Amino acid sequence: MKSIRTYNNISDKGLSRFPQDKYTVSADANTPDAILLRSHKLHSEALPDSVLAVARAGAGVNNIPVSDYTHQGIVVFNTPGANANAVKELVLASLLLSSRGITQSMNYVDSLANETDSAALHKKVEAGKKAYGGCELEGKTLGVVGLGAIGAKVANLALSLGMKVIGYDPKLSVEAAWRLSSKVSRAENLNSLLARSDYVTLHVPVVPATKGFMNEEAFNTIKEGAKLINLARGELVDEQAAIDALDSGKLGMYVADFPSEALIKHDKVILFPHLGASTREAEENCAVMAADQLMDFLENGNIVNSVNFPAIAMERTTGYRITFANDNVPKVLGTVLNQLADLNINVLDMVNKSRDDIAYTILDIEQEPTDELLNAISDVEHVFHVRHV
Ligand SMILES: NC(=O)C1=CN([C@@H]2O[C@H](COP(=O)(O)OP(=O)(O)OC[C@H]3O[C@@H](n4cnc5c(N)ncnc54)[C@H](O)[C@@H]3O)[C@@H](O)[C@H]2O)C=CC1
Ligand SMILES: O=C(O)CCC(=O)C(=O)O
């Protein structure tokens, strides 16, 4: 029986993927084989030694100490693209909310709730509306920072609304580029995008290179009165610099998914409670994808959509499977194969992949591996994780 510990509200559609005769799934599993979570922060938690993998039902993995886990052999997964449409649709709402005085005017109408005379109500409605006039999106320029799963969908949607779209993504993958309309123009650098955009929307992960990149200099460069949408992560934006830019009028509006005490108080800030991925569809997509990836890893050693290990998969043969992870240096695989040869063990199939300084191997062998063999592989220099799957 394998055990999964969950955190956060994970869709039942995902949880029900785990067959009950093979898995127990609960929030208080003591010795879980794997963790399944959404935004719960793992940085200050010690994981039980039993944990082999952590799956983030979502995109951002900044709540997980990924590099610490890598050298413990813990594979970290996410679910690329599974919630991208949900975020894209909230960006659309953000564009409109920051353009048309929608929430403010609704509050105004609510404030008229005690007006009992319909003629007086009508007069106040017509007199009040001039305070909430806005502008249209058509013809305006949207700058999209980060053109991955979400950014590409946002860029393509904005084009269909008649907006001009500029994109900036120095690390754009070929796969992501294929998803992007050729009508999206490419900014050579961030400043060029900021200076030309009426709206700027952020869709990058928070990593050292992006932390606080929307700083004082960026707000000095941004087009006068531009609106900033940040449904990616609060840490991307230097909050004081954003507030100063809002106060001076340089920044017209800030829409964010990450409330803070200072932002809540500001009347040019519209905040959601980290709602970007909170649709039924996105929650189901993420949970199903994360559960399937965990099961394939726990049952077969295959790795799909990991953020710290190479992508690797091999069909099961009739044999017995060993997987091992090692530092990506020469001679490790050769040494393990020699050990098998010395023990007269036949290899039926094998695949080996590397990613940065990590290598991972799946080996199908003809006979059941003994503890002696598994220990011998563990003892090979640079091997840091071995499993009989
Ligand atoms: N509010 C919410 O509920 C959600 C927030 N997110 C956030 O949005 C982020 C993006 O999500 P996805 O589009 O699914 O991820 P993704 O991995 O598909 O795309 C990220 C893109 O950012 C680019 N990038 C990386 N560093 C960059 C830099 N310095 N400048 C410009 N581009 C850079 C990458 O090349 C990649 O194309 C996530 O990391 C997460 O933090 C994602 C889903 C839901
Ligand atoms: O699970 C959630 O609601 C948050 C999603 C998110 O922030 C992400 O996928 O990066």
Which residue of 210, 274, 275 sits with most ligand 2 atoms within 8 Å of its CB, as the best mutation to test the pocket?
Answer: 274
Cα(288) to ligand 2 centroid in Å equals 15
Instruction: Give the number of the ligand closest to the Cα of residue 151.
Output: 1
Cα(301) to ligand 1 centroid in Å equals 27
Instruction: Give the number of the ligand closest to the Cα of residue 86.
Output: 1
- For residue 319, the model assigns a pLDDT of 81
What ligand 2 atom has the least distance to the C-alpha of 57?
1
Which residue minimizes the CA distance to atom 10 of ligand 2? 60
What ligand 1 atom has the least distance to the C-alpha of 278?
3
Cα(58) to ligand 2 centroid in Å equals 5
Q: Examine the domain organization and report whether 157 and 211 are in the same domain.
A: yes
Q: Which residues, judged by CB distance below 6 Å to any ligand atom, belong to the binding site of ligand 1?
A: 58-60, 80, 83-84, 87, 145-151, 168-172, 176, 203-205, 209-210, 231-233, 257, 274, 276-277
Q: Examine the domain organization and report whether 194 and 242 are in the same domain.
A: yes
Q: Examine the domain organization and report whether 316 and 302 are in the same domain.
A: no
Q: Examine the domain organization and report whether 284 and 195 are in the same domain.
A: no
Q: Examine the domain organization and report whether 91 and 208 are in the same domain.
A: yes
The residue ranges of the chain whose pLDDT is under 70 are none
Which residue of 41, 42, 83, 281 sits with most ligand 2 atoms within 8 Å of its CB, as the best mutation to test the pocket?
Answer: 83
Q: Which residues, judged by CB distance below 6 Å to any ligand atom, belong to the binding site of ligand 2?
A: 38-39, 58-60, 83, 274, 277-278
The CA–CA distances, whole Å, from 215 to 89, 210, 248, 256, 266 equal 26, 10, 15, 16, 18
Spatial distance between the Cα atoms of 27 and 8, rounded to a whole number of angstroms: 9
Residue positions annotated with a catalytic role:
233, 261, 274
Q: Examine the domain organization and report whether 251 and 140 are in the same domain.
A: yes
Structure tokens at 70: 């890598």
- How far from chain centre, in Å, is Cα 267? 29
Q: Write the CATH number for 354.
A: 3.30.70.260
What ligand 1 atom has the least distance to the C-alpha of 87?
44
Which residue minimizes the CA distance to atom 1 of ligand 2? 38
Using the structure block, give the residue that is written with the tokens 């929608």: 102
The domain containing residue 212 runs over which residues?
84-99+135-271
Which residue minimizes the CA distance to atom 23 of ligand 1? 146
Residue 36 lies in a domain: yes
Q: How many residues does the chain have?
A: 389
- For residue 317, the model assigns a pLDDT of 84
Cα(301) to ligand 2 centroid in Å equals 26
The full DSSP string for 250-292 is SEEEEEESS--HHHHH-TTEEE-SS-TT-SHHHHHHHHHHHHH
Q: Examine the domain organization and report whether 239 and 203 are in the same domain.
A: yes
Which residue of 85, 90, 150, 233 sits with most ligand 1 atoms within 8 Å of its CB, as the best mutation to test the pocket?
Answer: 150
Q: Examine the domain organization and report whether 90 and 233 are in the same domain.
A: yes
Spatial distance between the Cα atoms of 165 and 80, rounded to a whole number of angstroms: 23
Interface predicted TM-score (ipTM) over 0.95? yes
Instruction: Give the number of the ligand closest to the Cα of residue 255.
Output: 1
Q: Examine the domain organization and report whether 91 and 235 are in the same domain.
A: yes
Spatial distance between the Cα atoms of 342 and 57, rounded to a whole number of angstroms: 43
Q: Write the CATH number for 43.
A: 3.40.50.720
| Residue type, position 236, single letter | L
Total domains present in the chain: 3
Q: State pLDDT tens for residues 131-186.
A: 999 999 999 999 999 999 999 999 999 999 999 999 999 999 999 999 999 999 99
What ligand 1 atom has the least distance to the C-alpha of 205?
39
Sign of the dihedral through C-alpha 23, 25, 28, 33: positive
Q: Examine the domain organization and report whether 260 and 202 are in the same domain.
A: yes
Q: Examine the domain organization and report whether 50 and 183 are in the same domain.
A: no
Cα(231) to ligand 1 centroid in Å equals 10
Residue 107 lies in a domain: no
What ligand 1 atom has the least distance to the C-alpha of 172?
35
Q: Examine the domain organization and report whether 186 and 54 are in the same domain.
A: no
Instruction: Give the up-direction half-sphere exposure of residue 65: CA atoms within 13 A in the CB hemisphere.
Output: 11
Spatial distance between the Cα atoms of 218 and 240, rounded to a whole number of angstroms: 13
Spatial distance between the Cα atoms of 237 and 220, rounded to a whole number of angstroms: 14
Structure tokens at 156: 């393509």
Cα(151) to ligand 1 centroid in Å equals 7
